[in-house]
Structure formats: C-alpha cells, structure tokens
Structure 1
Amino acid sequence: MNALDFGPKEFVEPGAIVTVDGRHFVIGVSMDHFTCEGIELIGLSPLAPFYQVIDGLGKSDTAEFGGRNVKIEEII
C-alpha cells in the first residue's frame, strides 16, 4: 500500500479512489471494508474480476459486470 501513488487520478488505476454505484473502492489493495474520515471504503485488488472490467475507465463511463451496468461516478 505504501508503494501506491494516491495522487489525483482521471482514470481507474491503482492508487485511485473510485465511486461506483454509491460504493467507494481503493484500487490497488485487497482488504475488507474500512472507514476513513467517515466514508466506508473497500480495497480492490487489480487482480479482481471487477477491477478488470473498470480498469482504465473515466468518470461517467459505464461497463457491464455480473449482468448489470455499473457507472463510474467519481475518481479521486
């Protein structure tokens, strides 16, 4: 986790914090839910199938996962 660059991002990539359908994901680490500054986050490994679907997408892009469409709401 210390090796990740958590600076601002424009696309889904390791080090980004991504909001998808109201859920916040920290890209690059696989971990259970945790809370930071009152926001519940989920760690998402770049090896996870969901990451593979959203990798490289930008804000407002959509993708299909598990038979439904998901939308990238925010990237930090």
Structure 2
Amino acid sequence: MGRTGDWRTFRPVINTSECNKCGICWMYCPEGVIQKNEDGDYEIDLEYCKGCGICATECPTKNIEMKRESEM
C-alpha cells in the first residue's frame, strides 16, 4: 500500500459523535485504511487514504464528509 501524494483533493472527516459504528465505511474502503480504535470509533489513516469518497457515499447516516484538503 502506497502513501498518499500531494495530489489528494478531498479527505474524509468522520463525525464520531453521530456515527452509529456500523462498519460499512470499513467494509467498502478499497484501500483498507479505516480501522476501529480502542474507544470503538472508526478512524481513517490519512497517510494512506486516497480521498476517493466511497466511505462517505456508503455511510448510511451520512456522518462522513469529504472536505477539501485546502480547507484543512
């Protein structure tokens, strides 16, 4: 798995307070960069995330937002 270059335009941001922890984002991530932490929340390894947005599209509660890298 390769690290993300500076070409990524969007990054996913999880609203952990509203997330129902269903794991669908984890299931659909083509890069396998979403993991559950010790608190049971899902986290995205942004070092390897390509910013494709599949996690945000598949989230049934719409608690993953794609934000522009330039806004971060």
Higher relative contact order (CA 8 A, sep 6+): 2
TM-score (norm 2): 0.29
The structure that is strand-richer by fraction is 1
TM-score (norm 1): 0.29
